[in-house]
Amino acid sequence: MSELGDIASDFIRQEIEEYIARPDERERITNTFRRASERMQAIAAALIDGDHPTVDRLTREALEAGVGALEVMDFGLIAGMSIVGVKFRENFIYVPEVLACARAMKAGMAHISPILSASGIEPLGKVIMGTVKGDLHDIGKNLCIMMLRGSGFEVIDLGVDTSPDKFIAAVEQHNASIVGMSALLTTTMPNMGKTIEAFIDADLRDQVKIMVGGAPVTQDFADDMGADGYGKDAVACVTLAKQLLGVAA
């Protein structure tokens, strides 16, 4: 494909060809990497490989060479994680591999975060994230959190098995504008609806935007539950969060 051919890194091209089947995802990810420099593609490749020492080194070198922190984050780290997210969802990789990629992301972000904070960049918004009641999976949520933080959001992580009241308390305490709920089990998805109802009961529904996501969740389900948006994956979660706040993508 001519678009894929524009991507310098053989590894990245192969990852996209082999693992990104959905046309919309393939298009978005391909376009991202076409815009990424070779240096950024190398960071992404190391992250996908779970190679945290290399991500650490390459991130440091890129910043020292004058590449902007946001560019490294968007086109190196987040771009790499977008492929990891898809591979995990499709069961090409499992939790050990995802943990290794998350560790690599963390290694890169250790250099990025201080720069972003020092440059006085205000968070785009505050997001409360949690896996719903009864659900103890958190990898998807954690990927979203990394992406959100990496995109400039302040994220309060409530962890797993989060009751509606915990979501409400967190929104009140942090004055958050977005709530993100994750569920990886069909049996726990209804708790998303219960949480939304809880916000209604607490007279708080109009004060927050509520987004939902997770492997079994669909747009239809999100609409039925009364959510404001649905994010198909960690990358889409960031796009959605920005849309909900009216921030440029």
Partner 1 sequence: MTPAPPIPSMTPRQRVLAALGRRPVDRTPVANPTSIATVELMDLADAPFPDANRKPELMARLAATGYTELGFDSIMPVFTIIQESSALGCKIQWEQKDNWPTVRMHEPIFREPEDIRVPENWMEHPDTECVLEAIRILRREFGGEVAIIGKTMGPWSLCYHCFGVEPFLLMSLDDPEKTRQCLENLKEMTVAFGIAQAEAGADAVTLPDHATGDLVSAEYYGRYLKDLHKEFAERIPIPIILHICGRTVDRMPYIAETGMAAFHYDSKNDPAESMAVVNGRIGLVGNINNPETLFARTPEDVRREVYKNLDAGVNLIAPECAIPLQTSIENLKEIPLAVQDWHREHPRAPVDGETATGQEGGNVRAR
Partner 2 sequence: MGLTQDLGRRVELVPIDSQGGDITLALYRQDRDGMPHYRVHTYSRREAAPVRVAFVAGAMGVLGDCEIAGPLLRFPCGAAHLLAARRLFLESSKLASSAAPVRQPLEIFDKKSAGTVVVTALGAGLYQVTGADPARVESIALGLRKLAELDAVRGRSDQAAFPCRTAHDALMGLLLGRALNVRSALREEEMTASRGVLAAPSAQK
The DSSP annotation for the chain comes to -HHHHT---HHHHHHHHHH--SHHHHHHHHHHHHTS-HHHHHHHHHHHTT-HHHHHHHHHHHHHTT--HHHHIIIIIIHHHHHHHHHHHTTSS-HHHHHHHHHHHHHHHHHHHHHHHHTTPPPS-EEEEEEBTT----HHHHHHHHHHHHTT-EEEE--SSB-HHHHHHHHHHHT-SEEEEE--STTTTHHHHHHHHHHHHTT-GGG-EEEEE-TT--HHHHHHHT-SEEESSHHHHHHHHHHHHT---
Q: How far is the CB of 217 from partner 2 (least distance, A)?
A: 19
Q: Which 84-123 positions form the footprint of partner 1 (CB under 8 A)?
A: 94-97, 99-100, 103
In the list partner 1, partner 2, none, the entry touching 96 (Cβ below 5 to 8 angstroms by class) is partner 1
Shortest distance in whole angstroms from residue 96 CB to partner 1: 4
Q: Are 76 and 112 in contact (CB under 8 A)?
A: no
Bridge partners for 156 per DSSP: 128
Min separation Cβ 205 and partner 2, Å? 12
Measured CA to CA, the distance from residue 52 to residue 48 in angstroms comes to 10
Minimum CB–partner distance for residue 152 and partner 1 (Å): 27
Does the protein bind partner 2 through residue 133 (CB under 8 A)? yes
94 binds, among partner 1, partner 2, none (CB under 5 to 8 A by kind): partner 1
**How many residues at the interface with partner 1, by CB under 8 A?**
11
Choose between 32 and 142: whose C-beta lies nearer to partner 2: 142
| Near partner 1 by CB under 8 A: residue from 26, 87, 133, 137 | 137
Using the minimum distance from each CB to partner 2, give the nearer residue, 100 or 160.
160
- Residues facing residue 209 across a β-bridge: 178
Determine how many CB atoms are found less than 10 A away from the CB of residue 55: 31
Cβ closest to partner 1, residue 185 vs residue 202 = 185
Question: Residue from 14, 173, 187, 207 that binds partner 1 (CB under 8 A)?
Answer: 187
User: Residue 137, interface with partner 2 (CB under 8 A)?
Assistant: yes
The minimum distance between CB 140 and partner 2, in angstroms, equals 14
Q: Which of residues 14-33 bind partner 1 (CB under 8 A)?
A: none
Footprint of partner 1 (CB under 8 A): 50, 94-97, 99-100, 103, 134, 137, 187
Footprint of partner 2 (CB under 8 A): 133-134, 136-137, 159-161, 163-165, 168, 198, 201-203
